[in-house]
Structure formats: C-alpha cells, structure tokens
Structure 1
Amino acid sequence: MALRFPVVNVSQVTAPVVGAGNQFFAGARLFARGVGLCFRNPRLMLLGMIPALITGVLYLAAFVALAWNVVDLATWLTPFADDWSAAARSLTRVVAGAAVFGVGLLVGVLTFTTVTLVIGDPFYESISGRIERGCGGTPDEVETSFWTSLGRAIVDALRLIGLSVLFGVLLFIAGFIPILGQTVVPVLGAIVGGGLLALELTGSPFSRRGKLWAERRQVLRRNRTLALGFGVSVFVVFLIPLGAILFMPAAVVGAALLTRRCLGQPIPDQIVVAPKPSSA
C-alpha cells in the first residue's frame, strides 16, 4: 500500500483535499494560482517569457513546415492505400494526416517545455526560488552549481523527449482505430501530456531539495491525481496559440507550489514574491 506524505498542520497551509475529483481540481487551482501570481508580478512574468519566446520562434517554424508537408507525410505513411478506391484512400489519408499533426502537436507541446526549461534554466530557477522564499523557504535546500544544475536539466530533457516520442508513436498508431482514435485517443494524449508536463516542470524545485529523477517520479506517482490536475491544465492552455509562451512562467510558479503540496510543505494563503537575493 502506497504511503502518502503528511500535510503540515499550520494555519498558513492550504487545507488538504480528498477524493480524486477534488485532488484533480486542486492541482488545476495550483496552476491558476501561478497565473494569478505572475499577472500580479509583471517582472516575474516577463523574465519567464524570454526563453519561451526564443523557443517559440523555433517551434513556429517547425509547425509551419509540418503543416506544409502533412499531406505528403500522410501519403508516405499509407502506401497500402494506393490501390484502394478514391473515397477509401482519401479518408485513410485524412485520418493519417490528422494523426500526424495531432502527434506532432503533442510532441511539440512536451518538447517545447523541455527545450525551454533547458534554455531558460537560470531564469526559471530564479522564479521558482523566489516563489519558494515567498512561501517560507525550502526545507533542506541543497546548493548546486550552475553547471551541475544545467547538466541535470539536459539529462532530464533527453529522458523526457524520449518518453514523449515513445508515447507519441503509440498514440499515433492508436489514432487509426475507428471512433476510439478520434475520441478516446485525444483524451489519453492530454492525460499522458499532463503527466509528463508535471514531471518536467517540477524538476527545478525537486532538484533544489536534492531529489532527482527517480524520487521525483515516485512522489508524483503517490500524488498522481493532484499532479495530473496541474499537468493537464497546463497542457490544455499550452495548446492555445501563444499559450506556451504567455503561460510558461505561471507553469513554473505552479510547479513550485505543486512540489510543496506533494511534499506536505506550507503554502501561505497570501504569497509575497520574494525579491531576488543580492550577490553580496
């Protein structure tokens, strides 16, 4: 039987929630709270948008190229339909094209976050740390150098890209199943995407505590519904045009709050974003 982390019983801590539905919506509210904190602190939001904007330009070019070539890709992937009737061949290739674009979108959202976190590691580490200081600090914080932190971010990025591609291929194949491929598979894509986004975005706050990949997965698995509520909310918002750029800072803030909730650490009702510590 899986053990749960205790919730600290102090007045400043958000009250624990029970029930799968409540846990899911509690995770979504953590992201919403991150959005609110960023909009009330424009400098924090602008700081987090810089690396997301850089990645966004690169990914926009990639998606334009995918859309331009999606018909050719669908034809290349369905050679077995060459001798079918025109109606059957067209329908098969429309489904294939939709599956290609859908999987490209899924992998794009997931790898966008991964690449942005690597590019913006110093930015997002600063944002996450300021939020945690505003919540009372990080218990048992472990100091790591910039290069160690960057190296871990790159290793985690490669793992997550590999998982994204693997799930993307499986969902692409499942997309050809009649009816289920057009109804159930998109929902599964959002769930898988949400889980991976929660795993990606919590990398910095977990590393700050000296908890690396394996332990992070275990903690999030014990709080699966809460993590999915957060991750699926981020995933859906990231599907909105420019959503990933505008809301990336909020996702980083929400991930810091999610980490504290999963580890039973206090989250005040009112969070004052702590200033960046001086280098002196």
Structure 2
Amino acid sequence: MRKTLSGFGLLAGATYPFRVLAVFRRTPRLWSYVAVPILMNVIVGIALYAGLLFFGWDSVTHLMDSLTHWVDSLITSLPRWLGILDYLIIGISWLLRLLLVLGLLLFTGFLLVQFGVLLGAPWYGQLSEQLEELRTGQLHIVEVGIVRDIGRAILFELKKLVLAAGVGIVLLLLNLLPGIGTLVATIGGIALATTIVCLDFLDAPLERRRLPFREKLRIVFRSLPASASFGLVCFGLVSVPLLNLLTIPLCVASGTLFFCDRVL
C-alpha cells in the first residue's frame, strides 16, 4: 500500500519539507540565505500575532459572552429540571471558542506566509537558485528587467487574491447550507489554502522561467496528488505559532526541490 501511494506521489510529496533538512545538513553554506528571512519572519510574526490574536481573542470573548447571556435568558423560561442544559451550553461554548482560536491561528499563519515570502523574496530567490543548480547541475533564468520583474510580482499577488476571493465567496455561500454544505465548504477551504501555499512555495523556480499565472496553477494541478500532500504538510508547518518563523524558509527551499524532482 505504501509503495502504491508513494508511486502516485502522495507520500513522496509530503516528505519534501523534511528532505530539505538533509540538503541543508550536507551544504552548510545554504544557511546563510535563510538567516535574514528568519529574522524578518520573527519581526513580522510578532507584529501579526500580537495584533491579530489580541483583537481576535477579544472578539471571540465578546461573542461567547453574548451567546452565554442569550442562552441564560432562554433557560430561565424553561422548567428547572432542564437547567442541566446550562452545562451542555457551557461545554459547547468552550468548544466553539477552541475552534475559533484554531481558525484564527491558521489565518494568522496563512498571512505570515504571504508577508514572509514577499519580504524575503530576494534571499529566497538566491536560495532557490543555489538549490536548483545543486540538484540539476544547471540554472535556467529568463531575464526581463527590474521594472517588469516588480510588475510581475505585484500581479502575482493580485491574481492570488482574486483566486482566493472568487473561490472563497462560493465556499461562503455553500457554508450557508446546513450539513453537507458546511462539510464541502470546509474541505474546499483547506484545498484553496493548500493551493495558495503551493503557489507560494513553488513560485521561485517557476518565476525564474517567467511562466504566466495560469501555467503555474496548471503545474500545481498536474503534480497532484504529490502537490496536494506537499502543500498540506507545508500549510500545517506554517500554521503552528512560533514554529512557522523557522519553517517558512524550509518550505520555500523544499518547493524548489519538489520542482526539480517532480516538475522538471
């Protein structure tokens, strides 16, 4: 079974964020390309977590307080023997609080990826070049000039936003349907986040070839299921608070290894 899954790439794709550690161990000079991005991630991460988690936790607390008051007012009109529902509601409220906080952590980690990859792009680009040359023995770059290069980077971010917003609206509407709609929206949300993460971490070698956005997206889909497991593991690694300050550079490097092995 394991051999079959590995043959399709499902297991192999998930291992790339860890394979790159062996490459760094054998090639210590590569660490010089991640030192500055890690420092930048620490600064950006502290700002994001301090801001979003503070206001997010405050919002969750207000929401839970409102829900508790509403339930208390509802229970007062019920027979006394139904007072046990109060304990049930307390348990549900804490479960909702936990789910909301987990969602907030995932969202914060997702934002950290966007800012971290964008700010660390010069260093990540050099790291990716070194890895590709080390892995394949050659380096392919299409030069377009600094102005066009900046324009492409801005367009790439805008197109990702359009993709996320377009699919996100559909998923939000599906979430209004009870039962199956919520399940489909949850799975779709994870798939969308995984796709965006794949685009981010595979972008360095793809952008060196100046591929259009749709071609980058097609490469992600053509690499399934390896790209799905790769993106899912990376999404998990960058969603863990504090750990993601270190794993973002590793995921960027593993994206280049994935490209060299499974796309080239």
Name the TM tier (shorter chain): 0.7 to 0.9
Distance 1:142 1:110, change over 3 A: same
How far residue 231 of structure 1 moved from its aligned partner, in angstroms, is 1.0
1:1-280 residue pairs with structure 2 within 5 A? Answer: 19=5, 22-39=8-25, 40-41=27-28, 42-61=31-50, 62-74=52-64, 84-85=74-75, 87=86, 90=90, 93-94=93-94, 96-135=96-135, 136-139=137-140, 141-161=141-161, 163-164=163-164, 167=168, 170=171, 174=175, 190-263=190-263, 265=264
TM-score if structure 2 supplies the norm length?
Answer: 0.74
Determine if contact 2:60/2:97 at 8 Å carries over to the other structure.
Answer: yes
Q: Distance in 1 between matches of 2:46 and 2:96?
A: 27
Partner of 1:256, secondary structure, is: helix
Structure 1 residue runs of 5 or longer lacking an equivalent are 1-16, 266-280
How far residue 217 of structure 1 moved from its aligned partner, in angstroms, is 0.4
Partner of 1:137, secondary structure, is: coil
Q: Distance in 1 between matches of 2:191 and 2:127?
A: 26
Distance 1:195 1:77, change over 3 A: farther
How far residue 63 of structure 1 moved from its aligned partner, in angstroms, is 2.0
Q: Distance in 2 between matches of 1:253 and 1:95?
A: 37
Q: Distance in 1 between matches of 2:56 and 2:170?
A: 16
Residue deviations 1:35-83, cap 9 Å, x none?
3333553323314313322321221212233223322245679998786
Q: Which has the higher helix share?
A: 2
Determine if contact 2:44/2:112 at 8 Å carries over to the other structure.
Answer: yes
1:72 maps to amino acid: H
Residue deviations 1:172-198, cap 9 Å, x none?
9859967997x9987765544333211
Determine if contact 1:110/1:164 at 8 Å carries over to the other structure.
Answer: no
Structure 2 residue runs of 5 or longer lacking an equivalent are 76-84
How far residue 228 of structure 1 moved from its aligned partner, in angstroms, is 1.2
Partner of 1:198, secondary structure, is: helix
Partner of 2:143, secondary structure, is: coil
Distance 1:92 1:149, change over 3 A: farther
Q: Distance in 1 between matches of 2:199 and 2:172?
A: 19
Distance 1:37 1:230, change over 3 A: same
Q: Distance in 2 between matches of 1:30 and 1:227?
A: 10
Query: Bigger CA drift: 149-158 or 74-83?
Result: 74-83
TM-score if structure 1 supplies the norm length?
Answer: 0.70
Distance 1:18 1:213, change over 3 A: farther
Distance 1:72 1:258, change over 3 A: same
Distance 1:154 1:110, change over 3 A: farther
Determine if contact 1:35/1:250 at 8 Å carries over to the other structure.
Answer: yes
The structure number with the bigger radius of gyration is 2
